Structure 1
Amino acid sequence: MKVAQVDVVYGAGSTGKIVKAIHDHLLDVGHDSKVFYGRGPDEGEPNVSKISHDLEVFVDAGLSRLTGYTGVFSPMATNKLLASLDAFQPDVVHLHEIHGYFVNYFRLIEYLKKRNIPVVWTLHCEMAYTGRCGYAFGCDQWKTACQKCPQLNDYPRSLLFDRSAVQFERKKNLLSDMDRITFAPVSNWLHDRLTQSFLKNKQATVVHNGINTAEIFYPRDTADLVRRHQLEGRYIALSVAPDLMSERKGGSWVLEIAKRSLGKPITFVMIGVVEKLTDLPPNVIVLPPTRDQNELARYYSLADVFLLTSQSETFSLTCAESLACGTPVIGFDSGGPAEVAPRPYGYFVPFGQVEKLASLLLDGYRGELPIAGDDECVKYARSSFSNERMCEDYLNLYEESRRHV
């Protein structure tokens, strides 16, 4: 079987790691696989092609902000992708995140429709059924028709114009008559949202994301990290995101809880901070983002609890990674994470209720939270979120999509 994957990134970030895992698995079991991605370094791997030039991405982002339209620019990258697909002649095209200023996704979908190519589209976010945004948060206009978007200043940012109504109708018209497509929401929570959108009658199967539980995300020795950061006798709460201080990831909530925890032997380790923070509480250690997955696994293993403060997550790969390293989760109930880490592997409170989350953390520190131990977390994560399980699920979905007419 010949499978082509399209994503904004490859090998890095949550979706990029998933794409690489699927690609490697397909090659290992004898299928013909190619990946086309838009942003990041040129990896130089066989059968993996970066289709965009950084300058074109920059121009696409600028035009999107000026005009309010998204997913309609990048003509050179789009032409390169469509020509590559013509040359490869895939049996199935697997779409991931096709926004991100690197391709005209309206042209891409029209191409796939015209050639009647079976499509599997993994929904990592909500962009497929909204007028413009990847995370609708509290807005529910997408259930009927987007208009007067309340999130124009959020990604994908528009400086002047609100095109949400136009783009919503165009997506609806584009996808409504597309028959050979199967959506793969990454959580039951996202699947429920899908069934309330204009895509409610489309074929959809939940496929939980996978992680490398065999070679990367497993419990590690962390004695050197304890010495490096002087953490002897400390209870450690870890938070991780590439953009941890963004509003969606909620790093400011971590700092608030840290301030409330002063005087307790609790240290907060924040990985993914690029900003210069002032008035940093003395019980907080901030570290930059890392692409070193082995280093990340060591920090997961170091922590006593993983602290999630996101406003919205359709799955939360970091929760799965933490569990695989033996560390349970507490956080805000923000969509998919409570499904990834159900009790006793995780405990969640309503978003924004910082007092309750701080109290939950203290219960964990005092040993008063009936939370799963290290071995239980590892066993659960390996059985639920291995790359092998995810890849086999997608292989089955590819076969089903080829039969679906």
Structure 2
Amino acid sequence: MQTCTEVIFYRVPAFPSVKSLFREVRRLGLLSHWEVDDLIFDAAEYRQNGNLATLSDSEQRELLFGVGLFLDSLQSCGRGIASTRALGEAMRRAGIEDVHVIENALDRQTIALADALRIERSPDDVRESFLIVYGSGTRTHDADFRCCADGLVAAMEAEPRLSLQVIGELTLPDEFRRFGSRVQQLQGRDYPAYMALLARADLTIAPLEPTLFNDAKSNIKFLEAAVLDVPAVCSPRDAFTHVVRNGENGLLAEGTDAWRDAVLDLCRDPALRARLGRQAREDVLKRYRPEDVAREQVALCFPEPVADLPEERPLRVMSANIYFAPRSFGGATLIAEEMVRQLSGRGMDLAVFTSAPFLDGRHASSIRYEEDGAPVVATPLSIHIDRVAGLDNPRCSAQFSAWLDAFRPDVVHFHSVQGLGLGLTQLCLERRIPYVITLHDAWWLCERQFMVRQDGRYCFQRHIDLKVCAMCVPEARHLGLRADMMNASLKSATLLLTPSQSHRALYMENGIAADRIKVNRNGFAWPKTKRTPRKSGMPLRFGYVGGAEAVKGYPLIRKAFEALDQGDWELVLIDNKLNLGFSSIHADDWKVQGSVKVLPAYSQDTMDAFYEQIDVLLFPSQWMESYGLTVREALARDVWVISTSPGGQAEDIVDGVNGTLIPLDGRPESLRSAVEGVLAQKERFDDYNNPLKSGLPTFEGQAVELMTFLESVVRPKM
């Protein structure tokens, strides 16, 4: 249901599990239809069915109890699909205004089976024996059979060549015992075997007692016989009279004399048998082939969507990222979320594909919800992504495929897709959907994503050498295949984007042509209020937002601050994973002279409050970052930044003017020296303002530029 617009509940009772699906339908804003091919939702009419008398009291109570559950389902859906006119009218009497009649069709397999089984019937065929076949199926047709029983007995008495073969459960009236071996009762068969028996019949019968319940039944017994050229005698119930033209393509019979005469006429007139069989087949194939029913009936209920012309509708963009609100985690996720908001606000039609946690009772099903007006489909995915399995995720690809088919984007914008799998890009290629990749990090080049060795040190590769990589990840035997897969996805992208010039240079040094990769600088949330001036003489306040990973420099921070000889400072550590339900930073055992506290990640609404409580942001990343979002957030709020360089994180920092740049050398001494430097002049932060704020990027500017890139991919200028 997560990737559809309408849902059909076929013959479903309103059990609690089904009601939960109805609630989900309403939550998703889908249209729901309840479909059935029997009058099983009207208790008064159901009781008129004489076949109920053949069941035990407990079975009757169970069936009648089910009637209420079926009616509940029909009314919960509010739309009905009936297989017959009479059934549709019963739905309207039950209060359903939106009802469509879609008759049972002859499926392609049945038509093919009939073509192989049917016997050519000659108008000159004189038979020594004559076989009537009745398909009863279940034991709920005793009352129906009694409608024709006396007529059949009279016909078999008058014509010794007649024999009867009953397939399935049926309580035959005692009168049939006199015919001995001329009456056979066979056990039920699977459908091909049943059709094979029916094909050998000279005629078949479809008796139904005269009740509204039976008027609502479909004419499938006539269709099955007709497609085999077998003539049929039917009770004149509504669905049969809708297709059977008495004496032209079948016979209608009501009462003992009519049943006797119809059977004898067919037995004694081979030309009539052949003519009725041929005409019945011609009629039902003209009307009941699946394509005909689809065109004439289904299309009225489910009209084909009208394709919008490109100039008449906004660009339709699907954004894909490993995380998305409310599971916001990491800078790339923030950018992905903000670009969805920004592009939606500028008139584009946005949808999102992302991951979801495994939830009890949901198993492997996707979850669809809305975030800022954009539909999001999230597929269950473990937080801990296996490096090899994360390259290709068939189950994830299957759900992405369904979402592509449902949303039909003009272009797909991939952000960070590790764990979601490269199969997503292949699906775009198969559908000829152009895709754009924003290269937020080095995952497309590096098995370890941030080009950091196992010891936490930056590897300093520029042109990637897989022999060097194999030394870093000795257990990995797939690096060559991984590189081929990554290169294929990158080369098939219509456009590649990076958030900084330094990151663009890295990918260019690894074979990406300059004209295929552009810079789209990340914006950020600018302050909503003016910063409160720092009180003179208070301890200098430091902040760190990178998490416990060595690549972000967390171990260097601990070592540097434990080595400080002074204690006139405070340090706030942000643990992003607290919002995911567990902690990754534990500062209780730090041996420091200052104050250290751990807080959960801030939101867009609480960001200003976080930066209000720090004077210096620590950004000792141990790789050449693609951008450094928190660096820009801090610079815009007049917070000094201590950052490693080179890399995208340092491109808006001028050493000594709005921050302190330290070498990317993995040494805590470098960070300690920078911290001591600002502690030595902490009074400068009492009234500090960043003089270079005007050159910082904005979300608005990034979105406008991104729109231009996406438009150029879908609608290139001639």
TM-score of the alignment, normalized to the shorter chain, above 0.5: yes
Kindly state the Cα deviation for residue 117 of structure 1 after the two structures are TM-superposed: 2.3
Q: In the alignment, is residue 284 of structure 1 matched against residue 605 of structure 2?
A: no
Q: What is the match of residue 52 of structure 1?
A: 379
Q: What is the match of residue 157 of structure 1?
A: none
Q: In the alignment, is residue 394 of structure 1 matched against residue 711 of structure 2?
A: no
Q: 1:194 aligns with which of 493, 507, 511?
A: 507
Task: Give the Cα–Cα distance (whole angstroms) in 2 for the partners of residues 235 and 369 of structure 1.
Answer: 9
Task: Give the Cα–Cα distance (whole angstroms) in 2 for the partners of residues 327 and 341 of structure 1.
Answer: 12
Q: 1:138 aligns with which of 449, 454, 459?
A: 459
3-state DSSP of counterpart to 1:332: strand
Q: In the alignment, is residue 15 of structure 1 matched against residue 318 of structure 2?
A: no
Kindly state the Cα deviation for residue 32 of structure 1 after the two structures are TM-superposed: 0.8
Task: Give the Cα–Cα distance (whole angstroms) in 1 for the partners of residues 641 and 710 of structure 2.
Answer: 33
Distance change >3 Å, CA 265–CA 371, structure 1 → 2? closer
Kindly state the Cα deviation for residue 232 of structure 1 after the two structures are TM-superposed: 6.7
| Percentage of matched positions with identical amino acids | 19
Q: How many residues align?
A: 373
Q: 1:76 aligns with which of 391, 395, 417?
A: 395
Distance change >3 Å, CA 396–CA 402, structure 1 → 2? same
Task: Give the Cα–Cα distance (whole angstroms) in 1 for the partners of residues 527 and 669 of structure 2.
Answer: 37
Q: In the alignment, is residue 252 of structure 1 matched against residue 555 of structure 2?
A: yes
Q: In the alignment, is residue 115 of structure 1 matched against residue 431 of structure 2?
A: yes
Distance change >3 Å, CA 258–CA 144, structure 1 → 2? closer
Q: In the alignment, is residue 332 of structure 1 matched against residue 640 of structure 2?
A: no
Kindly state the Cα deviation for residue 363 of structure 1 after the two structures are TM-superposed: 2.6
Q: What letter is aligned with 1:72?
A: D
Alpha-carbon contact 2:540-2:682 (below 8 Å) kept: no
Please give the per-residue CA displacement for 1:217-242, whole angstroms capped at 9, x wherever unaligned.
Answer: x544499xx9xxxx97111121112x
Q: What letter is aligned with 1:233?
A: M
Q: 2:442 aligns with which of 112, 118, 126?
A: 126
Task: Give the Cα–Cα distance (whole angstroms) in 1 for the partners of residues 602 and 571 of structure 2.
Answer: 20
Alpha-carbon contact 1:119-1:182 (below 8 Å) kept: yes
Kindly state the Cα deviation for residue 8 of structure 1 after the two structures are TM-superposed: 0.6
Q: 1:90 aligns with which of 392, 409, 419?
A: 409
Equivalent residues in 2 for 1:1-400, closer than 5 Å: 1-11=315-325, 12=328, 13-39=330-356, 44-45=370-371, 46-54=373-381, 57=382, 61=385, 64=386, 68-73=388-393, 75-99=394-418, 101=419, 103-105=420-422, 107-130=423-446, 132-136=447-451, 137-138=458-459, 140=461, 143-145=464-466, 149-152=470-473, 160-176=475-491, 178=492, 181-200=494-513, 203-213=516-526, 215=528, 219-221=530-532, 233-241=538-546, 243=547, 245-272=548-575, 274-277=584-587, 278-312=589-623, 313-333=625-645, 335-343=647-655, 344-351=657-664, 352-367=666-681, 374-376=688-690, 380=693, 383-400=695-712
Root mean square deviation of aligned Cα? 3.1
Q: What letter is aligned with 2:674?
A: L
Task: Give the Cα–Cα distance (whole angstroms) in 1 for the partners of residues 465 and 566 of structure 2.
Answer: 50
Indicate the structure whose relative CO is greater, using CA pairs within 8 Å and at least 6 residues apart: 1
Kindly state the Cα deviation for residue 40 of structure 1 after the two structures are TM-superposed: 5.9
Distance change >3 Å, CA 8–CA 374, structure 1 → 2? farther
Distance change >3 Å, CA 30–CA 146, structure 1 → 2? farther
* Consecutive unaligned residues in structure 2, runs of 5 or more: 1-314, 359-366, 452-457, 576-582
Alpha-carbon contact 1:189-1:336 (below 8 Å) kept: yes
> Which structure is larger by alpha-carbon Rg, 1 or 2?
2
Kindly state the Cα deviation for residue 172 of structure 1 after the two structures are TM-superposed: 2.4
Q: What letter is aligned with 1:375?
A: N
Task: Give the Cα–Cα distance (whole angstroms) in 1 for the partners of residues 565 and 516 of structure 2.
Answer: 51
Task: Give the Cα–Cα distance (whole angstroms) in 2 for the partners of residues 220 and 376 of structure 1.
Answer: 12
Structure 2 length-normalised TM = 0.48
3-state DSSP of counterpart to 1:33: strand
3-state DSSP of counterpart to 2:591: coil
Alpha-carbon contact 1:267-1:285 (below 8 Å) kept: yes
Alpha-carbon contact 1:187-1:336 (below 8 Å) kept: yes
Please give the per-residue CA displacement for 1:200-253, whole angstroms capped at 9, x wherever unaligned.
Answer: 3561111111112154xx544499xx9xxxx97111121112x2x221112221
